[in-house]
Structure 1
Amino acid sequence: MFTFKICEEIELKILELQDAEKLFTLINNNHDYLSKWLPWVNESTKVEVTQEFIQFELSRFAKNNGFSSGIIFNNELVGCIGVHDINWRNRKTSIGYWLGEKYQGSGVMTRACKGLLRYLIQDLGINRVEIRACSENYKSRAIPERLGFIHEGTIRQAEWIDGRFYDHVVYGILAEDIGV
């Protein structure tokens, strides 16, 4: 299955059904941390839900319409990064990501996003990549800011999490912004 080496320590690997148990355990072990910003975490109550997610993502990958990959750091699954639906006509997509709490602050996600961005623009010919993050999720917002994405606006009350609405900050980058 598809793997993409980012650097000596990090690679991205398309999730397969055999990864379901590890992925479920990672999500479960980080439930409180992840559920603050990712409402789907509360629905991930058993490994079968994780298997269904992986099967959906494999189907999307087979249709050439995006994918989810595990972030492998020093041979350990530490999080996920995904390419949402790809609009091939307009050559644009968006990415989303999450990382287990103990791996925060180590530069893993910044390097994973940078590598994936390079792949999307240089190898797939994508022109525009977008990242959205809850306005109060400063760690998630730091990634596109660090990578030179442009803050394009805020979508008010875009997501309902734990009994309240949160705004989404929208970041975008174009191939020309990074010299491609």
Structure 2
Amino acid sequence: MFYYEVDDDIQLRLAEVKYAVQMYEVIDRNRAHLREWLPWVDNTINAGYTQLFLESSMRQLAANSGFNCCIFYRGSLAGCIGLHSVDWANRKTSIGYWLAEGFEGKGLMTKSCRAVVEYVFGDMQLNRVEIRAGVLNRKSRAIPERLGFALEGVIRQSEWLYDRYIDHAVYGVLAQDWRIGAWNR
């Protein structure tokens, strides 16, 4: 099993099928919170759906097209972070994440995201990382902003979210900028 110790409290563990029930329970307890910005929440109706997601994540890993990790805080599953896919020809990827409501405000996502970016630029040798977030999703947008990603623009009506389109703010960082520390970590 893959795991990475972010700090004494935070651990990233490869999103494996054995976490299906636990992940579903976290999603189910946080439906209203997660549904505000994530389009897949209503379709996650039982642990079987989280199992399908985790099986898909393992196929993605096997195909060398990215990965997903469960974020554990002091032993409790708090959320998920991963790569949507990897564009090897252009050496770029994008990061997606979600966090249960009770775990916000502890720096978990910023620290987890920093660890993933370090891995992407270090071990994977990619050149670009992108994060997209709903324009009005201030909490999600704060992550790339804290990590020094550049706001590169807004994509209008980028995503259908239940009953409306939402615009996405697009953030990016290049390996050269990350390495020279052009941001405050």
Q: Same fold (TM over 0.5)?
A: yes
CA apart distance, 1:3: 1.2
Please give the secondary structure, in 2, of the residue aligned with 1:176: helix
Amino acid at match of 1:162: Y
Residue 90 of structure 1 is matched in structure 2 by 90
C-alpha offsets along residues 31-85 of structure 1, whole Å, 9 cap, x if unaligned?
A: 0000010010110001111110100000000111011110011111100001111
CA apart distance, 1:151: 0.3
Residue 62 of structure 2 is matched in structure 1 by 62
CA apart distance, 1:89: 1.6
CA distance in 2, matches of 1:7, 1:124: 21
2:78 maps to 1:81: no
Residue 164 of structure 1 is matched in structure 2 by 164
User: TM-score, structure 2 length as denominator?
Assistant: 0.95
CA distance in 2, matches of 1:93, 1:179: 17
Residue 177 of structure 1 is matched in structure 2 by 177
CA distance in 2, matches of 1:114, 1:17: 25
Residue 32 of structure 2 is matched in structure 1 by 32
Q: Point out where structure 1 has 5 or more consecutive residues left out of the alignment.
A: none
Residue 151 of structure 1 is matched in structure 2 by 151
CA apart distance, 1:162: 2.8
State the Cα RMSD in Å.
0.9
Query: Could you tell me the percent identity over the aligned residues?
Result: 46
Please give the secondary structure, in 2, of the residue aligned with 1:41: coil
C-alpha offsets along residues 79-121 of structure 1, whole Å, 9 cap, x if unaligned?
A: 0001111011211000000000011111010000011111110
Residue 183 of structure 2 is matched in structure 1 by none
Amino acid at match of 1:60: Q
C-alpha offsets along residues 104-139 of structure 1, whole Å, 9 cap, x if unaligned?
A: 111010000011111110111011000000001000
Residue 129 of structure 2 is matched in structure 1 by 129
Residue 48 of structure 1 is matched in structure 2 by 48
C-alpha offsets along residues 131-157 of structure 1, whole Å, 9 cap, x if unaligned?
A: 000001000000000000000010000
Amino acid at match of 2:169: V
Amino acid at match of 1:107: G
User: TM-score, structure 1 length as denominator?
Assistant: 0.98
Structure 1 residue ranges, 4+ long, deviating more than 2 angstroms after superposition: none
Residue 20 of structure 1 is matched in structure 2 by 20
CA distance in 1, matches of 2:121, 2:61: 17
Q: How many residue pairs were aligned?
A: 180
Residue 103 of structure 2 is matched in structure 1 by 103
2:14 maps to 1:7: no
Amino acid at match of 2:105: G
Amino acid at match of 2:135: S
Residue 139 of structure 1 is matched in structure 2 by 139
